[in-house]
Amino acid sequence: MTKEPPFPRHFPETLSGNLRIVEFGERHLTPRYVAWLNDPETVRFSEQRHRVHTMETCRDYFAAQQASPNYFLAIEEVSAGTRHIGNLGVTLDENNATADISILIGERDLRGRGLGLCAWRAVLSAGFEHLGLRLATAGTMESNRPMVRIFEKSGMVVEAILPGRFLWEGGETGLVLASLRNPNHSSTLSSQP
C-alpha cells in the first residue's frame, strides 16, 4: 500500500494585490533571473553570495526542486503585463507538517515597496489554508533588517538569535530564527490548555 503524501504536489496559484505567486517554470529561467543571483547587492544577505550562477546551474537547481517535495515559487507582478520579480522557497518537513520559507526580490527598483511582505503573507496564508501546515519557520542574518521586519509585520515570532553564525562583510552576524503557528491546525488546537 502506497502512503499518500501529506501535502499536495502542486502549490495553489495565489493572488495578493498586484502579485501572483505561481510555481517556478521554464519561462522563469531567463538571463535576467541569473543576473539577480550574480548581483552582489541582491544576494548580500544570502548564502548565494558565495556562488557564481549560470543558466546551467539555475536549470540544475530548478530540476532538483522539481524532483523534491518542496515548492519553488515565482513572484510575478501583474499590474501592467506579467513581470517575474522574485522567488520564494518552501522547504517542507512533511513528517512534522512544517515548512521553512525563504524569499528573494530580484528586481532592485521594486525593493522597499512592501512587495516582499505582500508575497510573504500570501505564502503563509496559502500554506496554512491550502496545505494545512502546522508551523511556518524562517531564518535570516541578524543584519538583514528588511527581512526581520517582514517576520515581525507578518506576525512571526522571533524565537532565537544565534550569535556569530555568519561571516559577513568583514565581521560576524547572527542568525535570526522565527516561526508562526497555524491557529486553525487541529494539532495546534488540541495542544492548547
| Domain spans in the chain, listed from the N-terminal domain onward | 14-190
102-152 pLDDT, tens digit per residue, is: 999 999 988 889 999 999 999 999 999 999 999 999 999 999 999 999 999
* Mean pLDDT, the chain, whole residue set: 91
Please classify residue 120 by burial: count the beta carbons closer than 10 Å to its beta carbon, then call 0-12 exposed, 13-18 middle and 19+ buried. buried
Judge residue 79's burial from the number of C-beta atoms within 10 Å of its C-beta, 0-12 exposed, 13-18 middle, 19 or more buried. Answer: exposed
What is the per-residue pLDDT across 29-55, written as a single tens digit (0 to 9) for each?
A: 999 999 999 999 999 998 888 899 999
What is the average per-residue pLDDT within 58-65? 96
Q: Please, which residues have CB within 8 angstroms of residue 147's CB and are 6 or more apart in sequence?
A: 45, 103, 116, 140, 141, 176
Beta carbons of 154 and 101 less than 8 angstroms apart: no
The pTM score is 0.89
Q: What is the dihedral of CA 68, 89, 105, 156, to 10 degrees?
A: 180
CA distance 154 to 125: 10
Per the listing, cell 505564502 goes with 123
pLDDT surpasses 50 at 2: no
Nearest CA to 136 among 100, 104, 102? 100
DSSP 19-69: EEEEE--GGG-SHHHHHHHT-TTTTTTSGGGGS---HHHHHHHHHHHHHSS
Residue 52, burial from CB neighbour count under 10 angstroms (0-12, 13-18, 19+): exposed
Q: 86 has which bridge partners?
A: 75, 105
What DSSP designation does 155 have? T
Fold for 14-190, please state it: Aminopeptidase (3.40.630)
Regarding predicted confidence, which is higher, 65 or 81?
65
pLDDT tens by residue, 19-31: 999 999 999 999 9
- Residue 71 pLDDT exceeds 60: yes
